[in-house]
Amino acid sequence: MVRILRRGRGKPIPFNRVKTLLTTFALGCALSCAAAGEARAADPSPGVGSVLLTEAVEGNQLVRKYLVRNTGDEGYVLFYRIDATQLASDYADNGLDLSDLDAFVGSLPNDELCSIRRIVVTGYASPDGPQRLNEQLARERAEDVVAYLDNKYELSDAYGIAVKARIASWDDVREVVAASDTPQREAVLRVLDSDRSDAAKQAALRRQAAVWRFLSSDVLPALRRVDLRIDYGQDRIVEVRTRIARPAPRPAPASEPRKRCCCAVVDDGSTGFLVEMPEPDADF
């Protein structure tokens, strides 16, 4: 039997939101190992990375408490308007992600078993437009989010933040279009799958008004963003109870049969017994 003494942080993520929550919990290993341990009276240690805290006997159970080390990362995506480098909380789903971020960071001081290990901020720009301008947009968007984190939470001083910048490629655009069911899908893929240069592909797409309207409204805005990933460790205290096998009581030794007495009762009057004893060398 496994009892979780401390519940972890967790919240459902809608599938239609561009957000990832990738978590690998050693807790699953703890549960499976504990179940196996109860079935086989062996040491039910929750697995690699766990630390035995206490061990005690309660009734017919051996109770062990382990510290199980978990790791995971929490992801947030913040979108930017075209050519913008200043975060707008009312644009796209930014308000929702900022609210989730605030709840996560705000809970850290009250969670002694959770610790931030790494923060990575990656700024992106869509591939349309001049490359030099896009490089600047990606970098300044990342710096803008870092400034937001420092102004509100002072995360740089506490944990350090890795900052990256990247221009999304036309291959990224192709991936989004290929997964869509838009009427413009085939026209876009024909251009992107050609052997033309990126500049020639962009020019060809711009010449098709309906195609470019689709890209401008449904595809390119999602590439103007900042990805924020927070790697953290969150430990759990897991209680494992194992029944103690009690040895069965040993059967009582069989009694030896009584030997027949060689004497004979000749009188059993109320005052006692008169016993006639045989001669010492009598043959029976």
Confidence of residue 271 (pLDDT cuts 50, 70, 90): low
Which one is predicted more confidently, 30 or 219?
Answer: 219
User: Where does the chain show beta strands of DSSP type E?
Assistant: 2-4, 21-24, 50-58, 61-68, 71-79, 114-125, 162-167, 225-234, 236-243, 264-267, 274-276
> Is residue 22 within 8 Å of residue 232, measured between CB atoms?
no
Of 6-20, 63-77, 79-93, highest mean pLDDT: 79-93
143: domain range? 2-239
- Position 63 in a domain: yes
- Position 39 in a domain: yes
pTM above 0.85, yes or no: no
Mean of pLDDT values over 214-242: 92
- Position 257 in a domain: no
- Position 269 in a domain: no
- Dist. CA 175–CA 165, nearest whole Å: 20
Structural domains counted in the chain: 1
Mean of pLDDT values over 226-233: 94
Q: Kindly tell me if the per-residue pLDDT of 83 is higher than 80.
A: yes
Mean of pLDDT values over 186-201: 95
Q: Kindly tell me if the per-residue pLDDT of 155 is higher than 60.
A: yes
**HSE (side-chain half, CA atoms, 13 Å) at 111:** 20
Mean of pLDDT values over 259-267: 58
- Dist. CA 128–CA 4, nearest whole Å: 51
- Position 154 in a domain: yes
Mean of pLDDT values over 119-141: 97
Q: State the sign of the Cα–Cα–Cα–Cα dihedral 177, 179, 185, 189.
A: positive
Torsions phi, psi for 75 (to 5 deg): -115, 145
Query: What are 19-55's pLDDT values in tens digits?
Result: 333 333 333 433 343 443 443 334 556 666 688 889 9
Residue 108 belongs to a domain with what CATH number? Answer: 3.30.1330.60
Q: Kindly tell me if the per-residue pLDDT of 282 is higher than 60.
A: no
- Position 186 in a domain: yes
Closest CA to 67 of 103, 107, 96, 26: 26
Tell how far CA 27 is from the center of its chain. Answer: 8
- Position 244 in a domain: no
Would you state the pLDDT for residue 281?
Answer: 62
How high does pLDDT run on average in the chain?
A: 79
- Dist. CA 144–CA 140, nearest whole Å: 6
- Position 135 in a domain: yes
